[in-house]
A and B are shown apart, each in its own frame.
Chain A
Amino acid sequence: MGDSHHSPEEIKKHMKLYLAVFGGLLLGTLITVALYYIYFVQFWKTVAVALLVATIKATLVAAFFMHLSNEKKTIYRFLLVTVFFFAGMMGLTLWAYADHTMLK
């Protein structure tokens, strides 16, 4: 696995980055919990903010802790396919419930 971008200096730099991400994750958690006590008139706004913060945290974990930000093309390609199918499964199922002539 060892190549040029895994020299000791690089790794130490990454470790600092990991700690920064750690801080970001804790901050994100606090923000999400605070949301619980903030009142939006429309509930969907609460949902949107909560999911946005969760997505940002997830992206941090995936990109930095899981090294996705500099992963290989093969992995990107089929993760993209997976995301597409996940979106299809969720989206089409919910659409089927919405566009329905009878009780669910």
Chain B
Amino acid sequence: MSTHAHAHDVHHGADHGHDAHHHEPGFWTKYVFSCDHKVIGIQYGVTALVFLLFGFFLMLMMRWQIAHPGQPIPFVGGLLHMVVGEAAPAVKDETTGAILGYMMSPDLYNSFGAMHGTIMVFLAIVPLAFAAFGNYVVPLQIGAPDMCFPRINMASFHVFFWGGVVMLASFFLPGGAAQAGWTSYSPLATVIPTMGQTFWLIGMVLLITSSLLGAVNFIATIIQLRAPGMTWMRLPFFVWAQFVTAFILLLAFPPLEAAGIMQLMDKVFHTSFFLPTGLMISGQIASVDGQPISGGGSPLLWQHLFWFLGHPEVYVLILPAMGIVSEIIANNTRKPLWGYRSLVYSALAVGFLSFIVWAHHMYLTGMGTKISAFFQTTTMIISIPSVIILTCLFITLWGGSIRFNTPMLFALAFLPMFGIGGLTGLPLGFNFSDLQLHDTYYVIAHFHYVVAPGTIFGLLAGIYYWYPKMTGRYMSEFWGKVHFWCSLVFMNLVFQPMFAQGMAGMHRRMYDGAATYAGVLDPATGEVVGLSEAIIGMNKGITWAAVGLGLAQIPFIINFFYSVRNGKKVESDNPWEATTLEWQTPTPPPHGNFAHPVEVVRGPYEYSVPGEAADFSLQGQEVKGAQPQPAHH
């Protein structure tokens, strides 16, 4: 052995087919500071999943408080008290004074609420849907060796990571994390005297910067690095979805960055960008440094700038999932997507229209009738392309040879779940009905339906689908199905009742689960005024369903890690017999992705083409006479 020590290249694995003087990158370069889009995609994915779990735990603690206001939180109450001190005060036995446990103070509840939203949207879903799946799959699906700007790609992950650290660090500050909702409205966000909001703003600036860098990379990559023959109309719909998403991020995030800078100025330098003249806090004129603030600012300005991003942001959350679901449905029905052109134009329309609907989040701010009519109109119009996309996917199922594997189950469930979410958005889009429903649990149910059994199901489908390409092994089908059915049932049990609660008038962001508004008998009229017992009683059922939902994720987490080493090995590089280019790479794809240069010769969904031998035709083929590409750094 030792006589050949200097000829180490002979013993290298297959993906290093080149000459001797190449140095294997060290751990840090390979796993932490990698410029390879696949490594970066996995970094984003794992980090995002950890944040997703953390956001889920925040919600579980909140849900316990909602269902059992004033009661100690089981299991974690003591731990909570250790971390946040008096923000989790003791619950004492009335007679003996003994400490029964710890509950959340209203301020802590508010901060969990604000951070749950922030973490789920900006640290979990967007990084997972856009950055993780996009980074891993898009260059493979367009036939590119990597992203256009690999070093910027690495930078964007690290900026995201530190943004996340800043956000999480805010929990440990005296006074805790941000408390004014994920929407961070001024003046409340500015006048709360703790540092949590400042950290939130700094974290947001970092996260926005990371997204902007990523968006530039995605757009440039999709435009410039498509393989020969990959015309625009031969792109898989997933790539189109990511392209539109990147555009939305690029153009909608900067106004929030501007607003974030202004709110930071308000907090740190005591400006009054969003603080109106004559603002009173606790009966006193708002003051800093022993004198009144300048005033002259506009709280509405924050709302306009926030929702200018906030609305396009929700399309950032849904489009990648629609893309993933489309790929899986085509593959598992053995049919091309129905209405490919409609899908593409609808995605473009959704992206475009998403920029001019934002004030439907602001109907209750005293808007005039003309501008309100404008935003109601655009909001109604934007529902059309969304429905077109859903319809095309439904029609694709007709006459298909459906394979009910785990990714397909999640993808199929996405369709009605997103349908419910979308349809329930319609009353919110009209200001006359929004008057009743704004800021109630109806809104919570609506947006969670689109994001939770909507987007998250799409992302889970994507994990099960692309896992074999990333690792060379399948995840367990049995446990995948257990995960799916339990999640589906519990998701609906959690969010369905919230529609009823919202329509009855139960408001959002109440730390005691609306116990304050429980129905009381009005002696004068003999009527019960307030929320009925049934409505408030739903809180308990919802909380148990949320616990069930959490438990349902355990098989998934175990499956995810266990299958890396012990899952059933794939039979080929293309275990799902799919047509798109990522399945023509070795498993897992090496640095540089394709063993041979490819050119694209047909569309992305050539399944069940009459006259062909197999029921699918690969999109690309090797370029004739090309040399195998050496994979090196």
A residues lining the B interface (CB < 8 Å)? 74, 78, 81-82, 85, 88-89, 92-93, 95-104
Q: Mark B162-201, 1 if CB is under 8 A from A, else 0.
A: 0000000000000000000000000000000000000000
Asked whether any CB of chain A lies closer than 8 Å to the CB of B304, the reply is yes
Contact check, A92 vs B356: say whether CB atoms are below 8 A apart.
Answer: yes
- Interface stretch (choices B41-49, B60-68, B367-375): B367-375
**Cβ–Cβ < 8 Å partners of B368 in chain A:** 96, 98-101
Q: Among the listed A74, A81, A103, A104, which residue makes an inter-chain contact with B223, where contact means beta carbons less than 8 Å apart?
A: A74
User: Contacts of A88 on B, CB cut-off 8 Å?
Assistant: 355-356
A99 touches B251 (CB 8 A): no
Given contacts A88-B355, A97-B298, 4 further A-B contacts (CB under 8 A): A93-B304, A96-B359, A96-B368, A97-B300
- Closest Cβ neighbor of B278 among chain A residues: A103
Q: How far is the CB of B208 from chain A (nearest CB, A)?
A: 16
A88-B356, A100-B366 known; A82+B371 contact, CB < 8 A: no
Complexed CA–CA distance, A82 and B352 (Å): 11
CB A82 to nearest CB in B, in angstroms, measures 6
Closest beta carbon of chain B to A97's beta carbon, Å: 7
Q: Which A residues touch B251, using CB under 8 A?
A: 81-82, 85
Interface residues of B in 224-276 (CB under 8 A from A): 247, 251, 255, 276
- A–B pairs, 20, beta carbons within 8 Å: A78-B247, A81-B251, A81-B352, A88-B355, A89-B255, A92-B356, A92-B359, A93-B301, A93-B304, A95-B371, A96-B304, A96-B359, A96-B362, A96-B367, A98-B368, A100-B367, A101-B367, A101-B368, A104-B298, A104-B300
Lowest 5 CB-CB distances: which A-B pairs, in order? Answer: A99-B368, A102-B366, A99-B371, A101-B366, A93-B304
Contacting A89 at CB < 8 Å: which of B247, B308, B374? B308
Within 8 A of A (CB), among B297-317: 298, 300-301, 304, 308
Chain B residues 368 to 396 lying within 8 A of chain A, measured CB to CB, are 368-371, 374
A99 to B371, CA, bound (A): 7
Question: What CA separation (Å) do A99 and B368 show in the bound complex?
Answer: 5
Q: Shortest beta-carbon distance, A87 to chain B, in Å? A: 10
**Closest residue of B by beta carbon distance from A93:** B304
| A86 to B, closest residue via Cβ | B251
Cα A97 to Cα B370 with chains together (Å): 12
Closest to B373 in A: A99
A99 touches B359 (CB 8 A): no
Q: Is the CB of A99 within 8 A of B370?
A: yes
8 Å CB contacts to A: which residues of B341-362?
352, 355-356, 359, 362
Q: Contact mask B87-104 → A, CB, 8 Å, 1/0?
A: 000000000000000000
Question: Which residues of chain B are near A85, meaning CB under 8 Å?
Answer: 251, 355
Residues in chain A near residue B366, CB distance under 8 A = 100-102
In the bound complex, residues from chain B placing their C-beta under 8 Å from that of A89 are 255, 308, 355
Total count of chain B residues near the partner, CB < 8 A: 23
Interface residues of chain B, those whose CB is within 8 Å of chain A, are 223, 247, 251, 255, 276, 298, 300-301, 304, 308, 352, 355-356, 359, 362, 365-371, 374
Q: Chain A nearest CB: distance from B395 CB in Å?
A: 30
Q: How far is the CA of A104 from the CA of B366 in the complex (A)?
A: 9
Note all chain A residues with C-beta closer than 8 A to B276: 103-104
Q: Which single residue of chain B is at the shortest CB-CB distance from A95?
A: B371
Rounded to whole angstroms, the CA-CA distance of A84 and B374 in the bound complex is 17
Q: A97 vs B359: C-alpha distance in the bound complex, in angstroms? A: 12
In angstroms, how far is the closest chain A Cβ from the Cβ of B15?
34
Roughly how many angstroms separate A78 CA and B368 CA in the complex, as a whole number?
A: 32
CA of A82 to CA of B215 in the docked complex: distance in angstroms?
14
* Complex CA–CA separation, A55 to B251 (angstroms): 22
Chain B hits for A99, CB < 8 A: 367-371
**Bound CA span A102–B362, Å:** 13
Residue of B whose beta carbon sits closest to that of A91:
B356
**Max chain B C-beta neighbours (<10 A), residue from A93, A95, A98:** A93
A92, A96, A99: which has the most chain B beta carbons within 10 Å? A96
- A82–B301 alpha-carbon span in the complex (Å): 21
Partner pick for B371 among A78, A96, A102, A103, CB 8 A cutoff: A96
The CA-CA distance from A78 to B529 in the complex, in Å, is 55
Collect the chain A residues with CB atoms within 8 Å of residue B356's CB: 88, 92
Q: Which residues of B contact A74 (CB under 8 A)?
A: 223
Q: A99–B223 Cα gap in the complex (Å)?
A: 41
CB of A38 to closest CB in B, whole Å:
29
Bound Cα distance from A102 to B366, whole angstroms: 6
Nearest CB in chain A to that of B368: its residue: A99
Contact partners of A101 in chain B: CB under 8 A: 366-368
Q: How far is the CA of A97 from the CA of B301 in the complex (A)?
A: 9
Q: Which of chain B's residues have a CB closer than 8 A to the CB of A98?
A: 368
Q: How far is the CA of A103 from the CA of B374 in the complex (A)?
A: 21
Expressed in whole angstroms, the minimum distance between the Cβ of B187 and any Cβ of chain A is: 14
Inter-chain CA distance A103–B366, complex, in Å, is 8
B346 to chain A minimum Cβ distance, whole angstroms, is: 17
Q: How far is B359's CA from A70's CA once the two chains are assembled, in angstroms?
A: 38
Nearest Cβ in chain A — how far from B344, in angstroms?
A: 16
A77 CB to nearest B CB, Å: 11
Residues in A whose Cβ lies below 8 Å from that of B370: 99
- Residues of the A chain whose Cβ atoms lie less than 8 Å from the Cβ of B223: 74
* Candidate in A85, A95, A101 with the most chain B CB atoms within 10 angstroms: A85
How far, in whole Å, are A93 and B247 apart by their CA atoms in the complex?
21
* CB proximity of A53 to chain B, nearest CB, Å: 25
Q: Nearest residue in B to A101 (C-beta to C-beta)?
A: B366
What is the minimal beta-carbon distance from A102 to any residue of chain B, in angstroms?
Answer: 4
Report Cα–Cα, A98/B370, bound state, in Å: 10
Cα-based distance from A103 to B278 in the complex (angstroms):
12
Residues of A within 8 A of B301 (CB): 93
Q: How far is the CA of A99 from the CA of B365 in the complex (A)?
A: 11
Query: Taking the nearest CB of chain B, how far is it from the CB of A95, in angstroms?
Result: 5
Determine the chain B residues whose CB is within 8 A of the CB of A78 once the complex forms: 247
| Chain A residues near B308 (CB-CB < 8 A) | 89, 93
CA distance A2 to B374 in the complex (A): 49
CB distance from A3 to the nearest CB of B (A): 18
Given A100-B366, A101-B366, A104-B300, A92–B255 Cβ distance below 8 Å? no
Cα-based distance from A78 to B298 in the complex (angstroms) = 32
- Which residues on A sit within 8 Å (CB–CB) of B371? 92, 95-96, 99
* Max chain A Cβ within 10 angstroms of own Cβ: one of B300, B370, B374: B300
